[in-house]
Copies of this chain bind each other. A is one copy, B any other.
Amino acid sequence: MNVEPQSLEALIGEFASLPGIGRKTARRMAYHMLSKSKSDVERFANNLINAATKVHPCPCCHAFTEDDTCNTCIERRGAKTLCVVEKSSDIIPFERSGIYKGLYFVLGGVISPLDGVGPEHLHLPQLINRIKDEGIEELVLALGSSTEADSTALMIDRMLTGIDVKRTRLARGIPMGSELEFVDEITMLRAFEGRVCL
């Protein structure tokens, strides 16, 4: 016997389709929504539609924006450093730290044959064009630390043979606040290899 009304069942299904959300949590969310006022629920629904309608990739860097061209591409026009990230949300920690003042480029993924992602699925030609057209002097490859990310970075490095652009990647080592005891082998290996003089 199905004890839940059909429209509630449908809403549970929607929440359960979100990343990392199981059936039980989805049910809790749906019941939570029923306890909200009608105007709260309408605002939620409108914000969903709004975000999906207004937000699109910047034609220049592929980061999410509501404008024709994103703020960063406009405000930092002429900068000679370009930071390549996998996805739009990877830009957030850079901007939050305030350390980086250059341009960004969202690659749209990393090469992963197992997931069916090949070089043709990434914005590689646009990246190369942008480096050439804007006279980029330094390319910071910030593609994460998986094997797939490493091989994608390597491939970009090879594609740039003959183009005069310095290529860098983020430092690898022990993250802030981490207990040495729980650091994995690979991180420890890289932290030791990259040790610096005091």
A80 to chain B, nearest CB (A): 20
Asked if A48 and B18 make an inter-chain contact with CB atoms under 8 angstroms apart, the answer reads no
Asked if A33 and B4 make an inter-chain contact with CB atoms under 8 angstroms apart, the answer reads no
Interface size on A, residues (CB 8 A): 55
**Residue of A8, A34, A46 with most partner-chain B CB within 10 A:** A8
Q: How many monomers of this protein are in the complex?
A: 2
Residues of B within 8 A of A4 (CB): 64, 92
Residue A32 is within 8 A (CB to CB) of chain B in the complex = yes
Q: Which of A16-57 contact B (CB under 8 A)?
A: 18-21, 25, 27-34, 36, 38, 41-55
Distance between Cα atoms of A51 and B15 in the complex (Å): 13
A24 to chain B, nearest CB (A): 10
Chain A residues near B (Cβ < 8 Å):
1, 3-8, 10-11, 13-15, 18-21, 25, 27-34, 36, 38, 41-55, 63-67, 71-72, 87-89, 91-92, 95
